[in-house]
Structure 1
Amino acid sequence: MNSILQDVSYALRQLRKAPGFAITAVLTLALGIGANTAIFTLVHAVLLRNLPVADPATLVRVGDRDDCCVNGGLPRDDAYSIFSWELYKHLQASTPEFEQLAAMQSYPWQMTVLSNKPGSLAKGVPASFVSGNYFQTFGLQPFAGRLLTPADDMPGATPVAVISYQAWQRDFGGDNSIIGSTFLFKTYPATIVGVAPAGFYGERMIDSPANFYLPFALEPIMSQSPLLHAKPANWVYVLGRVKPGTALGPLQDKVSANLRNWLGENLDLYKRADVKKHLDASHVKLTPGGAGIENMQQEYKSGLYLLLTISGLVLLIACANLANLVLVRATGRSAETSLRMALGAQRARILRQMLTESLVLSAIGGLAGLGVAYAGTKMLLSLAFPASPNLPIHATPSLPVFGFAFALTMLTGLVFGLAPAWLTAKAQPAEALRGSGKGNSGARGNASLLQRGLVVLQASLSLILLIAAGLLSKSLNKLEHQDFGFKTEDRVVIHMDPENAGYKPEQLSGLYDEIEQKFHAIPGVEQVALAGYSPLEGDSWGEGVFLNGKPEPGPDQDIGSRWLRVGPEMLDLVGENVVLGRGLSAQDTAAAPGVAVVNQTFVKKFFHNGENPIGARFGTNGMTSTNDFMIVGVVKDAKWAQPREDDQPRYFRPLLQLAASDPKGEGRSLHTNTIMLHTHGDVAGLEAQSRRILASINPNLPVMYYSTFADQISLQFTQERLISRLTLLFSGLALLLAAIGLYGVTAYMVARRTSEIGIRMALGANRGSVVAMVLRQALVQALVGLVIGLPVALACVRFMKSQLYQVEGADAAVLGFAVVALVVSACVAGIIPASRAAGIDPMVALRNE
């Protein structure tokens, strides 16, 4: 222990003697370790953290996909991940292998909530319906009051709710009087019986966790078109805790069999004639549930691992750079090392001493890196989730993050210190006794070879990162600037929820008219349109299409289409130009014949050989419904759902028209949630005016969301923007480190060859030839790195394909940019020592020799 303390003390003294070296090394390490730790903090929070519940290892999810939010019909590949309430109850009753099997809404919905605080206004907050055994399944205890129980989830039970700890603290300052008070949820009263435990954010990580949890039994009371007992409506996730000793393989088979039994008893729910064919293939997958419903994990996994890999490459470049610095410093101390060995020091002790210096330096850099990591994590969160202030991810490093940083620090110290220490320890004692002070020429040769190898490695890795950054930046540019098919300038998106405010279907016509009139009266507003959803909001309705006069669809025939209710001004407002027939108009009222406007992809899918779609009729409730809607117009294609998806078949219907074949089945779609405005430039105070207008119409009709249309589209690319910007930042840092490394090696070479250069110039060599000689050596190392790095980069691009959009891996412009950037940086790094070499005075060099 004493010798270790002596080594540490000696290492600190050596660092104090070389402050320039120490500061450069610590800053390099802080950036490398800090960047990796910051990204690992995000990786750990999103991908590696279990739910804050009891014994998460025994939790199992029934399903494995991100199916949202209310689905009907048959799922993709006959794999079920989202269920109806009735199907959940069947699985719960028929699978005793689960100690508890809980259900939860597939996504928290915005719900109008009015608290009991004097003067409070109704506001939209995320809330979720859950089964009565929800909190029991997770083994949770309340922070205050009590949690929901199965008795609360029975018909006729007293309406109750549980508030999340975060909402309780944020919105009510931890006021205990909240417990036992009555809140209005969608205008219906419910008593707050408790506060969920601190740190619990629900069964999954999402950007807007539920503020309130209500039992499913309240859903039919609070919803005008209830889903609870609608067997065709799949809208709940299922997650449970298995009994000890239960094997998941046989349990998965049993759950799948129980699923098929229920489906077989309810075949009449499906409109497809081939449903029996799918029955035998229907199944579920049981997946680990310790991390909850991993929708966000699936979305961010590839991007975060890509960033972790890229930051690891930057750290490797930093290690190579530091190894070069340490090697130059160690070579300069070779005479001292030889003298110590001549006086009896053991090679092992010399090696340990050199490694101790590297580890001490790395530890100091690691501590500085934690500060960089904290600031870096805050920056990452603001870039990754700019519109998600309530996301349960925090910048404060946790114990696993500290462990990662410590392990990374020690590994880094070993990586950049081992080779220089080994070469230094090979110094011969006789070298010190010769008195030349120049050390062993063989060792110097090995050191020089290692230095050049490290520079080549840095150049190769820098090229790989430059190519990655170029591809991601080009992909992001194509995503952001593609033709979505919409006009975005001077457009505003507002969300509301008439159903939450208690409006019945027969009251909607008057409400919509009043909204349009009052918003049209705002100075500067040119168009006002209502719709079920706005473009690129990521949601819409979907049904199978049955055409009049066409044969009944065959087995496995794709007849799906997306659809949307829109006001008469909506398509024109967003720039969906009519290319055939007419658009929807104010005359297409609830009492008028059913009509629809379709897009070009709809026509291509359902009409062939030049058939004219105008006047054709179709329905969505089987072949008996084919007279429900008549096609009156065709609009150009546009990307309403996802920016990466190709245009989908889609049709648009008037706001209040019902299908004649099933008017009751369409009640949910009548409640429009979106208002879009087209303004003449910026309108001052438009958001405040919008809130006042809705509040004047009904105090229970708050603005739940307000954004410009351009900003809404921009938020679609948050993840891509994060990855692109960080990769660009890391590639720039890597190039800078590689240039510094090349500069250091070249400067060291010039210093070693001072006498040789002096002799060359004394014999007639001009300055230009000396500069060319030095630059040639610098460029050769960069070019060797280029030759190695280019094929490696092209081979690695296939791992990035999921992150790229309309960009090929072998993009000539990106490859050319990366090569030019590397060559230019090599020239810049080499020109300074080359100029110094050309300025050597031959007489001074010979005198020193």
Structure 2
Amino acid sequence: MTTFAQDLRYALRQLKKTPAFTVTVLLTLALGIGANAAIFTLVNSILLRSLPAADPSALVRGGAINDCCVGSGWRNDGDYSLFSTEAYEEMKKGSPEFVELAAIQAGFTFRPVTVRGDDPGALPKSVMGEYVSGNYFRTFGLRPYAGRLFTDADDTKGAPMTAVISYAAWQRDFNGNPDIVGKTFWVNTKPVAIIGIAPKGFYGDRLVATPPDYYLPIETMPSIMNVPYVHDPNTNWLYIVGRVKPGTAPLPLQEKLSAQLRQALLKTRINFTSEAGKTKLARSHVTLTPAGNGIMWMQEAYGAHLHLLTWTAALVLLVACANVANLLLVRGMARKVEMSVRAAMGAGRDRLIRQLLTESILLSGIGGLLGLVVAYGGTRALLALAFPGEHGVPIEAAPSTAVIAFSIGLSVLTGLLFGLAPAFVASRAEPADVLRSGSRTTTGGTSKLQKVLVITQAALSFVLLVGAGLFAQSLRKLENTDMKLETRNRYIVHINPQAAGYKQTQLEALYREMEDRFHAIPGIQKVGITSYTPMEDNNNGWGWNAEGLLNVSHGASVIRVSPEYFDSVGTKLLAGRNIGIGDTPTAPRVAVVNQSFAKKFFGDTNPIGRRIGTAESHSGDYEIVGVVQDTTYTTVRWTDHLMVFLPTLQRVATDGPIEDDLNLYAGALVLQTDRPIHEMETIARRTLAAINPNLTVVKFQTFDEQIADRFTEERLLSRLTMMFGGLALLLAAIGLYGVTAYTVVRRTNEIGIRMALGADRGGVMAMILRGAILQVIIGLAIGVPATLVCVRFVRSQLYQVTGVDPGVLLGALAVLGLAACVAGLVPARRAASINPVEALRIE
């Protein structure tokens, strides 16, 4: 320890003597380590993070896929992840292997609910709510922050309606006021008592950008949400998560749950007596998966991109290490005399290596601390890019214990990686060298190692530059796709009439009043009412048949629209007519289909007047009255998307009572104006509140903003790969400059002799530049095939990019070549200005 302390003090003195070298190395390391630490913060928070629950390793989930959201019928592959309430209850009663088995509503996003406090003057607002079983919090082993959490008694029919509020919502909306526990709030116009506050740090059973603010018992859902399927054995809508008893074997339990599922399926309306039915019943099963990380929605959504960014950041760190190693080699040569003197005084080679490694690890340690600062700022920027406009994302930018440990480990590894080779080279000093001129005793091995490092930097930089170009090209193709939409002066107002307390029988009057009120606002030209809008993360699909076409059935998205909807989003009519004001609930059923639907069912024949339906026995329920162009919904990656547009309130013949028909509820208004109206959100909120104070705006965006949101991940990837590529290029250019400048110093005598013998300045500059560019060319010879191999692994994340575009390749070549010329030009000019007399005098 005494020797280590001595080495450490000496290392600090040495670094203090060379401030330019120290600052350059620390900045390089801070950027390299900070970039990796920032990416690891997201990787740790999204991919590796365990739920904030007691003993998360004991949690398992029934199901392996993230189905969404409410489904009926059987699964063709037999792999169930959604379950009916009845199936869940049978599994819960018949599986003593579970300490607890909880049920949770399915879905990628939670259900907006309208909440108003007990203050009579308080305005309601839309928040996220989640419906869970009474043993939900008990399954996760949680204790309340205040009040109490649910019990089984809270989740029974006829029980008083209760709710638990999240800690984050309690702090955000109520400033941590403990008096809200025990008070009655109005949730979707129903009185609900707040019985407790969830523990701090608990964000629910899955990681999402908008975690639930309120937790509500499943049995309150029929009353609060007016849904009919909670106890329908044909409707699968629940995720199940359980805590298994110690020593429970997973495979027997999985088989047992599968058998219970098949028993529950037999009680549904599905016919399992046919041969096809028997086969599908036999294939129906439950797969148990670990649930310590929760329901893996965000992990699946972001996993591939995070892995790619991890590898990209690692390549940048390698470039940084190579750059620092080059700087240390140059510095080591400058300390050749010092090392020779130490050796002459009896210092062994291992002692010299230890001293030099101490300096390297000290540098990397300080760089790692600075990297944590860079990582904090970088993580904040990443979160803003990945989740624009979201303020409740349960991911902290501040470094966690795991991130700090990662940074420390990475710093030590980096110090060893870039310090080992220079230490070995510098430690090879011979005592006799102290009596000689350093210019003559500099070994060629050092120069070769430096060149190898520069070549490596050039190859890695080229790979990153091409990658940045490909992702930029992919993003450009995505954003420039012709979506057949008009976005200028269009606004999307998401609403939830169901949460505002409207019954299905009241919707016709509500929609008419919304149209009248918004049309009365100066500047508004079109008011479209729809179940969902283009380029939002929502979809509702049904199976469709056509009259006269036996055994022909295809799935298609279904959207309910008002007469002005197509004009409001810019969808053009190609044949027939639009949905009209005469297509009322009592009028003959009509439908408008898109081009893909018409071609899929009817080929090149005219679809106008043909009849379609949602079942073979009802294949003639709807008459096709119009065909519209294929516009883009959900994602531009969804091609040949079949779509059916129905009047807002015309019902399917096979539906039951109107009180059970949730498809009648509109999800958004599309407002087209004659000019930009910057206060449109305020106007929309006031207009809806004037109709009904409970009719809140769930989300407001311009049409352009909604479309841009669908490219958030691609935009994040493109920007980060460009940033990493640019950083690697800068580091490679600095490394090339350093090696070239060092080469000029080492060859001062030679250059002086050449110029004394008649070499001109241009020839000297060309010689130095030729050496610098040759290293880059060798790097390109390695980088080009490496790039072609790497593209195969990222092709699935690119849009309409199947290989390396020649333009991208040439662009990367040009950028790297230009950087090489700039990096080599300054040393070349310095070499050309050498005075032969001074050079020979030095000799």
Normalising by the smaller structure, the TM-score range is over 0.9
Q: Is the 8 A contact 2:169 2:213 kept in 1?
A: yes
* Residue-by-residue CA offset, 1:484-510 (whole Å, 9 max, x unaligned): 121111110001111111112221111
Letter in 2 for 1:102: A
Q: 1:635 to 1:272 in 2, by over 3 A?
A: farther
SS in 2 for 1:110: strand
SS in 2 for 1:473: helix
Residue pairs, 1:110-509, within 5 angstroms: 110-268=112-270, 274-432=276-434, 434-438=435-439, 440-441=441-442, 444-509=443-508
Q: 1:831 to 1:270 in 2, by over 3 A?
A: farther
Instruction: Please state how far the C-alpha of 1:269 moved relative to its aligned partner.
Output: 7.1
**Are 1:25 and 2:25 counterparts?**
yes
User: What CA distance in whole angstroms lies between the structure 2 residues aligned with 1:395 and 1:115?
Assistant: 32
Q: Is the 8 A contact 2:272 2:281 kept in 1?
A: no
Instruction: Please state how far the C-alpha of 1:762 moved relative to its aligned partner.
Output: 1.1
* Residue-by-residue CA offset, 1:650-696 (whole Å, 9 max, x unaligned): 10000111123334376101111211100112124211111111111
User: What CA distance in whole angstroms lies between the structure 1 residues aligned with 2:47 and 2:317?
Assistant: 22
* Residue-by-residue CA offset, 1:362-393 (whole Å, 9 max, x unaligned): 11111111111111111111111112210101
User: What CA distance in whole angstroms lies between the structure 1 residues aligned with 2:716 and 2:581?
Assistant: 44
Instruction: Please state how far the C-alpha of 1:7 moved relative to its aligned partner.
Output: 0.2
Q: 1:439 to 1:133 in 2, by over 3 A?
A: farther
* Residue-by-residue CA offset, 1:144-169 (whole Å, 9 max, x unaligned): 11000111111111111111111111
* Residue-by-residue CA offset, 1:215-273 (whole Å, 9 max, x unaligned): 11111222333220122222211111111111222222222222222223325379999
User: What CA distance in whole angstroms lies between the structure 2 residues aligned with 1:694 and 1:4?
Assistant: 72
Letter in 2 for 1:55: D
Q: Which residue of 2 aligns with 1:574?
A: 569
Q: Is the 8 A contact 1:335 1:439 kept in 2?
A: no
SS in 2 for 1:779: helix
Pick which of 818-827 and 251-260 moved more: 251-260
**Are 1:683 and 2:677 counterparts?**
yes
Letter in 2 for 1:431: D
Please point out which of 833, 837, 844 is paired with 2:831. Answer: 837
Instruction: Please state how far the C-alpha of 1:645 moved relative to its aligned partner.
Output: 1.4
Please point out which of 689, 695, 698 is paired with 2:689. Answer: 695
User: What CA distance in whole angstroms lies between the structure 1 residues aligned with 2:478 and 2:274?
Assistant: 37
Q: Is the 8 A contact 1:66 1:295 kept in 2?
A: yes
User: What CA distance in whole angstroms lies between the structure 2 residues aligned with 1:696 and 1:274?
Assistant: 55
Residue pairs, 1:616-631, within 5 angstroms: 616-620=610-614, 622-631=615-624
Instruction: Please state how far the C-alpha of 1:286 moved relative to its aligned partner.
Output: 1.3
Please point out which of 804, 814, 821 is paired with 2:815. Answer: 821
Q: Is the 8 A contact 2:736 2:772 kept in 1?
A: yes
User: What CA distance in whole angstroms lies between the structure 1 residues aligned with 2:774 and 2:143?
Assistant: 67
Q: 1:725 to 1:797 in 2, by over 3 A?
A: same
* Residue-by-residue CA offset, 1:545-591 (whole Å, 9 max, x unaligned): 122222245xxxx6211101000111122122111111111010111
Q: Which residue of 1 aligns with 2:743?
A: 749
Pick which of 6-15 and 216-225 moved more: 216-225
User: What CA distance in whole angstroms lies between the structure 2 residues aligned with 1:269 and 1:231?
Assistant: 14
Q: 1:273 to 1:492 in 2, by over 3 A?
A: farther
User: What CA distance in whole angstroms lies between the structure 2 residues aligned with 1:561 and 1:628?
Assistant: 16
Q: 1:684 to 1:320 in 2, by over 3 A?
A: closer
User: What CA distance in whole angstroms lies between the structure 1 residues aligned with 2:755 and 2:716?
Assistant: 53
Letter in 1 for 2:584: T
Q: Which residue of 2 aligns with 1:521?
A: 520
Q: 1:313 to 1:224 in 2, by over 3 A?
A: same
**Are 1:662 and 2:663 counterparts?**
no
User: What CA distance in whole angstroms lies between the structure 2 residues aligned with 1:257 and 1:817?
Assistant: 60
Q: 1:591 to 1:603 in 2, by over 3 A?
A: same
User: What CA distance in whole angstroms lies between the structure 1 residues aligned with 2:373 and 2:781?
Assistant: 37
User: What CA distance in whole angstroms lies between the structure 2 residues aligned with 1:52 and 1:14?
Assistant: 47
Which stretches in structure 1 are left out of the alignment for 5+ residues? none
Which stretches in structure 2 are left out of the alignment for 5+ residues? none
**Are 1:90 and 2:90 counterparts?**
yes
Q: Which residue of 2 aligns with 1:603?
A: 598
Q: 1:272 to 1:576 in 2, by over 3 A?
A: farther
Instruction: Please state how far the C-alpha of 1:817 moved relative to its aligned partner.
Output: 0.7
Q: Is the 8 A contact 2:234 2:269 kept in 1?
A: no
Q: Which residue of 2 aligns with 1:543?
A: 542
User: What CA distance in whole angstroms lies between the structure 1 residues aligned with 2:559 and 2:253?
Assistant: 40
Percent identity between the aligned chains? Answer: 51
User: What CA distance in whole angstroms lies between the structure 2 residues aligned with 1:23 and 1:195?
Assistant: 49
SS in 2 for 1:469: helix
Q: Is the 8 A contact 1:687 1:706 kept in 2?
A: yes
SS in 2 for 1:651: strand
**Are 1:673 and 2:667 counterparts?**
yes
TM-score normalised per structure 1: 0.97
Q: Which residue of 2 aligns with 1:99?
A: 99
User: What CA distance in whole angstroms lies between the structure 1 residues aligned with 2:501 and 2:420?
Assistant: 72
Pick which of 676-685 and 740-749 moved more: 676-685
Q: Is the 8 A contact 1:145 1:195 kept in 2?
A: yes
* Residue-by-residue CA offset, 1:760-786 (whole Å, 9 max, x unaligned): 111111111111111110011000000
Q: Is the 8 A contact 1:31 1:372 kept in 2?
A: yes
RMSD: 1.6
Q: Which residue of 2 aligns with 1:763?
A: 757
Q: Is the 8 A contact 1:99 1:240 kept in 2?
A: yes
Letter in 2 for 1:636: Q
* Residue-by-residue CA offset, 1:408-450 (whole Å, 9 max, x unaligned): 1001111111000001111112222x34344744xx2111110
User: What CA distance in whole angstroms lies between the structure 2 residues aligned with 1:643 and 1:230?
Assistant: 35
* Residue-by-residue CA offset, 1:329-379 (whole Å, 9 max, x unaligned): 101111110111111111111110000010111111111111111111111
Pick which of 744-753 and 634-643 moved more: 634-643
User: What CA distance in whole angstroms lies between the structure 1 residues aligned with 2:360 and 2:479?
Assistant: 46
Q: 1:271 to 1:810 in 2, by over 3 A?
A: farther
Letter in 2 for 1:643: V
Pick which of 361-370 and 447-456 moved more: 361-370
Q: Is the 8 A contact 1:548 1:627 kept in 2?
A: yes
User: What CA distance in whole angstroms lies between the structure 2 residues aligned with 1:90 and 1:546?
Assistant: 35
Q: 1:466 to 1:672 in 2, by over 3 A?
A: same
SS in 1 for 2:100: strand
Letter in 2 for 1:200: F
TM-score normalised per structure 2: 0.98
**Are 1:646 and 2:648 counterparts?**
no
User: What CA distance in whole angstroms lies between the structure 1 residues aligned with 2:833 and 2:176?
Assistant: 73
User: What CA distance in whole angstroms lies between the structure 1 residues aligned with 2:641 and 2:64?
Assistant: 25
User: What CA distance in whole angstroms lies between the structure 1 residues aligned with 2:426 and 2:255?
Assistant: 63
SS in 1 for 2:72: coil
SS in 2 for 1:596: strand
Q: 1:405 to 1:35 in 2, by over 3 A?
A: same
Letter in 2 for 1:100: E
User: What CA distance in whole angstroms lies between the structure 2 residues aligned with 1:706 and 1:586?
Assistant: 26
Pick which of 786-795 and 70-79 moved more: 70-79
User: What CA distance in whole angstroms lies between the structure 2 residues aligned with 1:96 and 1:482?
Assistant: 54
